[in-house]
Amino acid sequence: MAVPYCPIMLAAATLILLAAVTTVHSIGVNYGTLADNLPPPAQVAQFLKEKTIIDRIKIFDANPDILRAFANTGIPVTVTVPNGEIPNLTDVHNARRWIVANIKPFYPQTQIQYILVGNEILHWGPQNLRDDLVAAMRTIFKALKLENVEGIQVSTAHSLAILEPADTPSTTKFRAGWDVGILAPMLEFHRIVKSPFMVNPYPYFGYNEAKANFTLFQPNKGVFDNETKILYNNMFDMQLDSVYISMKKLGFGDVNISVGETGWASQGETFEQPKCSVANAASYNGALVKKYESGSGTPLMPGRKFETYIFALFNENQKPGSIAERNFGLFYPNLSPVYDAGVMRTGANPATNPSIPTQPAAPATNPTPTVAPAVKPTPTVAPATKPTPTVEPTTKPTPTAEPATKPTPTAAPATSGKKWCLPKSDASDAALQANLDYACGQGIDCKPIQPGGACFTPNTVRSHASFAMNSYYQTQGRNDFNCDFSGTGSITTIDPSNGGCTYVS
């Protein structure tokens, strides 16, 4: 629940009631931690509380340090069950054990708001996780009851790959196969337990130069939906209405929607220009915060407020992939704002809009397709490695053109010409686990990532998958498609080797 900031309205007895209706000045953020230079969680908690209007956070695990740090702050925390745990959590004994180990030690001192069961499971798979998702959500809910934990909701976040490709909201619907098989029972669950259906809309991934203003909340001609007669003036509304219409078509228009992730990178490679700039990130996130506060809703859901989590709190220096991946943050690790997104408390605003640099001119080499449908995932070559949907996820930032054909990134060693394959930053743990299993099953040497091996630490799925995906790429002939991994791999010219851990090249 939001912390009210308006002292006049605070009569102690009605505090809780009022907090529900006076959600002024608030927004959520995703607190990602793929970095080695972030401040301690306690400092982050204090900073958010005292200096910003950010009033809720979402994390991609159940990190005990973060859960401890946010105790008694009044800032609700949303935690995520690791994807790989999903099959186990369909068993209520395991689910209870998970609650006992990860939730009970911290709750209610830390106000845990949602438990999200995995991240973008439908999008990334593998299939057994998709199959078990709804059952795991139900079981976690049941386990909370059995453990007498009250007040925590259960949900899961989806990329917009759950939608069929369409040009307008009225013509879209949920992907056949997932609609009745998975999403209908899931929405039924949401309806019964009154938790929101959570989606991750990213106009960022729908950007092209022709639609720049439409994605950035700036003046534009709009996109007309000739069935509803609605002229959409921004892609965010269009994406949310597409979700809403798809829910309605299945009979679940009454279930709440929340926005688990959305955001914009403030810097990128040459091939990511002119999309990634401070001006664009400030325009998108700034307008998003204002829109959220206004409570205006969307054309089809006027006046509805969608709990929203911006991606991300910090620039994260250890995210693999292009420069943009490491520049989605609202803040630098030293807590200074990257730009004015309107999230500082009054009086604490860093810079005013005039200081925002103007958007650089578009380079002729921009690889973005000229016709990028707002809600339409781009079709891609079917991956050999995984049974993923035939549509490419909307959440996939990397352009189809290879950086190698573009001006060399500044950090690239110009002389070596060496390349490595790494996971994209938005690849889920489930996808990375699948990549890891696949690559190690193809005869590459996975001993270095086993206990005692030079690359065993950090002992994370991402780190182990990075090593295995690169080894696979190198041994299979270093073709770009050897690093595709269903759209979850990307090639870099920066040597990821570190310490005693050598990535082959």
Ligand X SMILES: *[C@@H]1O[C@H](CO)[C@@H](O)[C@H](O)[C@H]1NC(C)=O
Q: Please give the residue ranges that form the binding site for ligand X (CB under 6 A).
A: 84-85, 88, 94, 167, 194, 213, 218-220, 226, 254-256
Q: H helices within 153-272, ranges in order? A: 184-193, 212-215, 235-249
Report, in Å, the least distance between residue 91 CB and ligand X. 8
CA distance 505 to 492: 11
Report, in Å, the least distance between residue 129 CB and ligand X. 11
CB closer to ligand X, 356 vs 412: 356
CA distance 341 to 73: 23
CB closer to ligand X, 63 vs 220: 220
Report, in Å, the least distance between residue 176 CB and ligand X. 21
Q: Residue 214: CB partners within 8 Å, gap ≥ 6?
A: 203, 220, 222, 223, 232, 233, 234, 235, 374
Report, in Å, the least distance between residue 461 CB and ligand X. 11
Report, in Å, the least distance between residue 193 CB and ligand X. 8
CB closer to ligand X, 71 vs 135: 135
**CA distances in angstroms from 259 to 15, 82, 117, listed in the order given:** 26, 19, 15
The CB-side HSE value for 258 (13 A sphere, CA atoms) comes to: 25
CA distance 368 to 280: 16
User: What 3 state SS string does 255-308 have?
Assistant: CCEEEEEECCCCCCCHHHCCCCCHHHHHHHHHHHHHHHHHCCECCCCECCCCCE
Report, in Å, the least distance between residue 394 CB and ligand X. 20
Token pair belonging to 453: 């091996």
CB closer to ligand X, 349 vs 353: 353
CB closer to ligand X, 284 vs 467: 284
Sign for the CA dihedral angle at 126, 130, 132, 138 comes to positive
H helix count then E strand count, the chain: 12, 12
CB closer to ligand X, 94 vs 497: 94
CA distance 491 to 236: 30
Q: Please, is 303 exposed, middle or buried when counting C-beta atoms within 10 Å of its C-beta (0-12, 13-18, 19+)? A: exposed
Contact call for residues 117 and 136 (beta carbons, < 8 A): yes
Sign for the CA dihedral angle at 209, 210, 214, 218 comes to positive
CB closer to ligand X, 203 vs 393: 203
Q: Residue 470: CB partners within 8 Å, gap ≥ 6?
A: 420, 421, 422, 496, 503, 504
Burial pattern 261-275, b for ≥16 Cβ within 10 A else e, equals bbbbbbbbbebbbbb
For the chain, the straight-line distance linking the first and the last C-alpha, in angstroms and rounded, comes to: 50
CB closer to ligand X, 44 vs 257: 257
**CA distances in angstroms from 490 to 154, 186, 277, listed in the order given:** 33, 32, 21
Report, in Å, the least distance between residue 42 CB and ligand X. 29
Please say if 261 is a catalytic residue: yes
CB closer to ligand X, 84 vs 350: 84
Report, in Å, the least distance between residue 101 CB and ligand X. 11
CA distance 137 to 139: 5
3-state helix, strand, coil in the chain (%, to 5): 35, 15, 50
Go through the chain and tell me how many residues it has. Answer: 505
Q: Which of 85, 164, 261, 316 is catalytic?
A: 261
Which residues are the active-site residues? 120, 261
